[in-house]
Structure 1
Amino acid sequence: MKILAISGSARRNSTNTSMLRAVRAVAPDETEIAIFDGVGGLPVFSPDLEGEFLPAAVRDFIEAIAQSDGVIIASPEYVRSIPGGLKNAIDWLVSGDEIVHKPIALLHASHRGDDMLAGLRTILATITDRFAGDIFLRLPLMKLEPADVLRTVETAENRSRVQAYLQAFSAYCMAGSETA
């Protein structure tokens, strides 16, 4: 199972990126997780740059999505909304086919952020017919340093929760590929 995990944060020491790395570290052997932490490096979306003018960074991002069996998104909440970099990344996907039937699930690193999650759920349910809204995991990681995030995720309880989440998402991805 090949999963692309997208961090919605542009911060260098992002809790969300650290969480995705920790999740990758405890993932079952059959689950390969690639992390995209470059939303801040994508140019601002413009239809004028699509097609033959598509920037290389965007092309690589879209190709990573196309090559994955499913996508996990982890994002902070900024001013009760989706960070601009993540929204921009999603905007680059809407005119292509790579995301339309791609399974997507959410992972969250905070006890808060429900307004952002509600908005993100609406957007994801619009861009793909395979948004797995009921496959969701929230971990208590807010304000932890990257090493502490890893230690927290590696605890027996959280490792078990992460593995159950990944197994549920992998099953969801597989179920869709059998009918495609």
Structure 2
Amino acid sequence: MKILAISGSARRNSTNTAMLRAVSAVAPSEIEIAIFDGVGDLPVFSPDLEGKFLPAAVRDFVDLIAQSDGVIIASPEYVRSIPGGLKNAIDWLVSGEQIVHKPIALLHASHRGDDMLAGLRIILATITDRFAGDIFLRLPLMKLEPPEVFQAVETPENRSRVQAYLQAFSAYCAAADQIVIGPPS
């Protein structure tokens, strides 16, 4: 199972990015996690740049989505909302087909951020018919430095929670892959 984990933060020492790296390190062997931490490197979305004018960074991002069996998004909350970089990344996906039937789940690194999560859930349920809203894990890691995030995720309790989350999402992706999309026969 190939999972793409997207960090919604453009910060170099992001807690969310560190959490995704730590989650990848404790993932069951049958789950391969690639991490995308480049939302800050994507150009500002413009419909004029779609199609044959698609910037290389965006094309690479879209290819990562297409090659994955599912997507996990971890994001901070900025001013009770979705960070601009993550919203921009999502905007680049809206008119393409790669995200429409892609399973997506959320992972959260804070005890707060419910306003951002609510907004993100609405957006994700709009762009894909396979948003796994019930598959969710919250780890209270806010304000920890990356090495501390790894230590927190590697505790037996959190490792078990992370593995159960990943296995649930992997099963969801496998089941979603069996669904045939198209007109009734």
Shared topology, TM-score over 0.5? Answer: yes
In structure 1, list runs of 5 or more residues that go unmatched: none
1:26 alignment partner AA? V
Q: Deviations over 1:38-96 (max 9, x none)?
A: 00000000000000100000000000000000000000000000000000000000000
Q: C-alpha separation between the residues in 2 aligned to 1:119 and 1:35?
A: 23
Q: Is 1:36 the equivalent of 2:2? A: no
2:146 alignment partner AA? P
Q: Is 1:154 the equivalent of 2:154? A: yes
% identity of equivalent residues? 87
2:126 alignment partner AA? T
In structure 2, list runs of 5 or more residues that go unmatched: 181-185
2:137 is aligned to 137
Q: TM-score, normalised by structure 1?
A: 1.00
2:11 alignment partner AA? R
1:62 is aligned to 62
1:5 alignment partner AA? A
Q: C-alpha separation between the residues in 1 aligned to 2:62 and 2:77?
A: 24
Q: What is the deviation of 1:179?
A: 2.2
Q: TM-score, normalised by structure 2?
A: 0.97
Q: C-alpha separation between the residues in 1 aligned to 2:78 and 2:176?
A: 33
Q: What is the deviation of 1:178?
A: 1.6
2:136 alignment partner AA? F
- 1:78 is paired with a residue of what secondary structure? coil
Q: C-alpha separation between the residues in 1 aligned to 2:178 and 2:44?
A: 36
Number of aligned residue pairs: 180
* CA RMSD of superposed structures (Å): 0.4
- 2:76 is paired with a residue of what secondary structure? coil
1:154 alignment partner AA? E
Q: Deviations over 1:71-123 (max 9, x none)?
A: 00000000000000000000000000000000000000000000000000000
Q: C-alpha separation between the residues in 1 aligned to 2:83 and 2:56?
A: 22
1:170 is aligned to 170
- 2:3 is paired with a residue of what secondary structure? strand
